[in-house]
Amino acid sequence: MKVYYSSAALIIAWLAVLGCIQAVTLEVKEGNSTCIKAELSASFSVTYNTSSSTRTVQFPLPDSTTVDTASSSCGTEESSPWLVAVFGPGHALGLSFSTNGSLYSVANLTLQYNLSDTSTFPDANSSVVITVVSASVGISAMRNTTYHCVSPSTFAVGGATVTFSDMRLEAYMPGNELSPTESICMADPTSTTAPPTTAGTTTTAAPAPTPPGTPERGTYFVNNGNGTLCLMAQMGLQLNFTYFSRSQNKTVQELLNLTPNLTTSSGSCEASSASLVLTQGQITTLNFTFTLNSTSKKYHLSGITLLADMADATAPISASNSSLDYLRSTLGRSYMCNAEQTLAVVPSFSLNTFRLQVQPFQVTTDQFDTAEECQMDQDLMLIPIIVGAALAGLVLIVLIAYLIGRKRSHAGYQTI
């Protein structure tokens, strides 16, 4: 799932601010209790076929949008919470949610559009209702906090795109109102903006922290619904992020090692996607999303989400990117990299990995399949070979020079 921040999306955001695109409020209730609430503006871009060509239309989520109470749900132990909003003649927008206890996220984004709506889709050569679904859109927040993102965020969903702006959202709500504590998206510059300073004071960035040392290597597993092992990972993890310190009144950098014996693993496995969620206490949650291309039989790490609740931070730290391309390997093999890697996620957050090996698909036993090694490991293996070859060449040159010199000294003592 790729996230775009385009000029068109920025225009949409400004239209929302000016009131041209109305914000809507949507609530899912169970009795008198609210479990999901969203306040947002949204617009859609859909490409469809006409009798002679293709056409792309853009249309907003209207203020007449309502919650479909028959399809929406607060969820059960066996089913996920759903918010389904309906609008126009047969159009719908759906969001399903998942949680690991400390983090909640949008698990699926669904768009349904009715091509028989001639006012929205003029000259369409079909009158069918089309439903497109996308997973792992990167909208996540700590439990009991409100996800807040003013900046426009555009998500590709099948042959369409959905753009959210000025979004406030909370699932698994303990009360009927959105939490005043917010998890602000990384796209918003206010997420790292310093609070106002008094006259004569300045705010400066803190020096880089002292490295905490190489992190301990942990082993993590994910089982599917029937208890069968479906994902394995071994790695040492070090978080590198910045946040605004309340006590120091400035932006500071933090290096934090994940401690395996304090970390629990969970996740899910699907045919073309898999997730690994690591939770250290109730403070730090790290979510990895892997995507499989069924045509090329290649998989890669496509998304990383971090949520951290630092005691000295002005707000919970949230960082997410669902358009990454790391740890690429082949189906039926594991990916391995013993060298230290730095995975850049967003400007304020990167992840350092050590002695990493992972297999997110086609796991058949509790042992990794044949590994495809990263380029850094291959380069490290070449270094002793190159050094050995250079030394062998040097010895050969010395030997040849010695033989030539010896031959010349023998020639100088020939009998006349």
Domains and CATH numbers, the chain: 22-184 (2.40.160.110), 218-375 (2.40.160.110)
Q: For residue 17, what are the CA distances in angstroms to 10, 106, 345?
A: 11, 25, 29
Q: CA triplet 137, 141, 147: central angle to 5 degrees? A: 85
Q: Which amino acid is at 120?
A: T
**Which pLDDT does position 254 carry in this prediction?**
85
**Which pLDDT does position 196 carry in this prediction?**
41
**Which pLDDT does position 211 carry in this prediction?**
61
DSSP assigned state of 255: E
If you count DSSP H runs as helices and E runs as strands, how many of each does the chain have, helices first? 2, 27
Cβ burial 258-283 (10 Å sphere, 16+ → b, else e): bebeebebbbbbeeebbbbbbbbeeb
One digit per residue, pLDDT tens: the chain, 416 residues? 333 333 444 444 444 443 445 789 999 999 999 999 999 999 999 999 998 899 999 999 999 999 999 999 998 877 889 999 999 999 999 999 988 777 788 888 899 999 999 999 999 999 999 998 876 677 888 888 898 888 888 888 877 889 898 899 999 999 999 999 888 776 775 444 344 443 444 444 445 555 678 899 999 999 987 888 999 999 999 998 888 888 888 888 888 899 999 999 998 898 889 999 999 876 788 999 999 998 999 999 999 988 888 888 877 788 888 888 899 999 999 999 988 888 988 888 889 999 999 999 999 888 999 999 888 766 555 556 666 777 777 888 888 887 777 776 655 555 55
**Which pLDDT does position 234 carry in this prediction?**
95
**Which pLDDT does position 11 carry in this prediction?**
44
Reported pTM:
0.55
**Which pLDDT does position 386 carry in this prediction?**
66
Contacts of 84-91 with C-beta under 8 Å, sequence gap 24+, read 84/110, 85/24, 85/26, 85/61, 87/61, 87/62, 88/62, 88/114, 88/117, 88/120, 89/114, 89/116, 89/117, 90/114, 90/116, 90/117, 90/129, 91/117, 91/120
- Tell me how far apart the 2 most distant CA atoms of the chain are, in Å: 121
Q: For residues 327 and 334, what is the distance between their CA atoms, to the nearest angstrom? A: 10
| Residue 326 structure tokens | 């790391």
Contact indicator for 265, 285 with CB cutoff of 8 Å: no
